[in-house]
């Protein structure tokens, strides 16, 4: 039976999620890829245990993770919990989301309705064998459902004891403010927004979402911090056949042109001067933004998790480093 490391809290950094009482590890394990049907269960379990053994307490899922076998990542995580991790439930922050296509018919498509959200949450809890999740997110803004209905559904999840906190994902600052207004009136524990953000995708800065979150006391949990693998050393010298671009499993593969490679190599040179890998500097750069609570890392093997944790050894940047990075990134796309 699994026994967690006695040193699991020795080095990890923990940050308060906005102005709430909830703290999250600076790095969280995102389970979008490599945890669902067709993935190695043994490796998935090793990654979860490696993460927790090194102080990562936040495990982030969604109802549709494991596509095309929606829900299979949650099912596998439930099995991982059963094989020893569940004994540490009160040390874990488990989140799930609902919003994208999930099941057949009008109630399971991309949705923000009360019907969809609460049904999905019940399904997620069953798959993971949980009585509650720590954070329940609406995964993506649904323009066809009133925000009030979506907010009330999330509030109901808390009042029914099936979630402790609520969050939203892929919401811009304007819609986030509308949700905050409703949640404030309802006294719903709304604590976090989960947007994409990276050196190569800085839309939250252009939108003002990071400034809004800092001012309003809402945490930010960042996903896709490595821009689907661009901000690693994988593409500095060509496209490996087993990479996401090589397999054609990313929709941004066409962006990997000569100009992008030149940019990545320049960033890698800065990272090396800091004693870091490009991926580590990319994570540190995000955490340097004071609005960010945690960064969701993906992984395909345990060694990648340990490698990413190494980013926490240096998350400070000198003015000279910041200026050099900004010069390199000046033409980064605004998604």
Q: In CATH, what number is assigned to the domain containing residue 128?
A: 3.20.20.100
Residue 20, token pair as written in the block: 């709430």
Check whether 156 has a pLDDT greater than 50. yes
Please report the DSSP string for 262-312 in residue order: HHHHHHHHHHHHTT--HHHHHHHHHHTSTTEEEEEE--SSHHHHHHHHGGG
Q: Per 3-state DSSP, what percentage of the chain is helix, strand, and coil (rounded to 5)?
A: 40, 15, 40
* Domain membership flag for residue 210: yes
Check whether 248 has a pLDDT greater than 90. no
pLDDT tens readout for residues 301-333: 999 999 999 999 999 999 999 999 999 998 544
Range of the domain at 100: 14-226+289-300
The 3-state DSSP class for residue 71 equals coil
Give the pLDDT of residue 241.
52
Q: How far apart are CA 105 and CA 148, in angstroms?
A: 23
Please report the DSSP string for 2-68 in residue order: ----TTTTSS--EEE-TTSS-EEESEEEE-SSSSSTTS-HHHHHHHHHHHHHTT--EEE--TTTTTT
* Domain membership flag for residue 127: yes
Q: How far apart are CA 309 and CA 13, in angstroms?
A: 10
- Cβ neighbours of 38 (radius 10 Å): 9
- Do the Cβ atoms of 152 and 177 come closer than 8 Å? no
Residue 323, token pair as written in the block: 């200026």
**Residue from 213, 109, 228 nearest 168 by CA:** 213
Check whether 77 has a pLDDT greater than 80. yes
* Domain membership flag for residue 266: no
Q: How far apart are CA 33 and CA 44, in angstroms?
A: 10
* Domain membership flag for residue 100: yes
The 3-state DSSP class for residue 77 equals helix
Span of 67-76, 128-137, 245-254 with lowest mean pLDDT = 245-254
* Domain membership flag for residue 282: no
- Count how many domains the chain has: 1
* Domain membership flag for residue 252: no
* Domain membership flag for residue 156: yes
**Residue from 122, 119, 87 nearest 104 by CA:** 119
∠ Cα 331 268 230 (to 5°): 65
Burial of 289 (0-12, 13-18, 19+ CB in 10 A): middle
pLDDT tens readout for residues 168-225: 999 999 999 999 999 999 999 999 999 999 999 999 999 999 999 999 999 999 999 9
- Do the Cβ atoms of 299 and 308 come closer than 8 Å? yes
* Domain membership flag for residue 103: yes
């Amino acid at each position: 039976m699994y026994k967690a490391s006695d040193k699991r809290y020795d080095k990890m950094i923990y940050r308060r999620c906005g102005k709430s009482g909830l703290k999250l590890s600076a790095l969280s394990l995102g389970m979008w890829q490599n945890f669902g049907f067709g993935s190695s269960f043994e490796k998935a379990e090793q990654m979860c245990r490696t993460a927790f053994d090194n102080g990562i307490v936040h495990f982030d899922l969604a109802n549709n993770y494991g596509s095309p076998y929606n829900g299979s990542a949650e099912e596998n995580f439930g099995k991982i919990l059963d094989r020893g991790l569940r004994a540490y439930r009160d040390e874990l922050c488990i989140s799930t989301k609902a919003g994208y296509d999930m099941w057949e018919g009008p109630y399971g498509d991309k949705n923000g309705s009360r019907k969809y959200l609460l049904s999905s949450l019940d399904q997620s809890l069953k798959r993971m064998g949980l009585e509650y999740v720590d954070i329940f997110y609406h995964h993506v803004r649904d323009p066809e459902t009133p925000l009030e209905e979506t907010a009330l559904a999330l509030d109901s999840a808390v009042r029914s004891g099936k979630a402790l906190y609520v969050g939203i994902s892929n919401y811009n600052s304007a819609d986030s403010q509308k949700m905050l207004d409703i949640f404030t009136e309802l006294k719903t524990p709304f604590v976090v927004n989960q947007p994409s953000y990276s050196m190569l995708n800085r839309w939250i800065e252009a939108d003002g979402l990071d400034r809004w979150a800092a001012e309003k006391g809402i945490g930010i949990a960042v996903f896709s911090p490595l821009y689907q693998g661009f901000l690693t050393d994988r593409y500095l010298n060509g496209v490996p056949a087993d990479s996401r671009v090589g397999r054609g499993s990313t929709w941004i593969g066409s962006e990997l042109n000569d100009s992008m490679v030149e940019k990545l190599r320049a960033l890698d040179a800065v990272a090396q001067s800091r004693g870091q890998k490009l991926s580590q500097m990319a994570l540190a750069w995000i955490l340097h933004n004071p609005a960010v609570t945690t960064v969701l890392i993906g992984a395909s093997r345990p060694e990648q998790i340990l490698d990413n944790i190494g980013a926490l050894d240096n998350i400070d940047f000198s003015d000279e480093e910041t200026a050099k990075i900004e010069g390199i990134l000046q033409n980064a796309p605004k998604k």
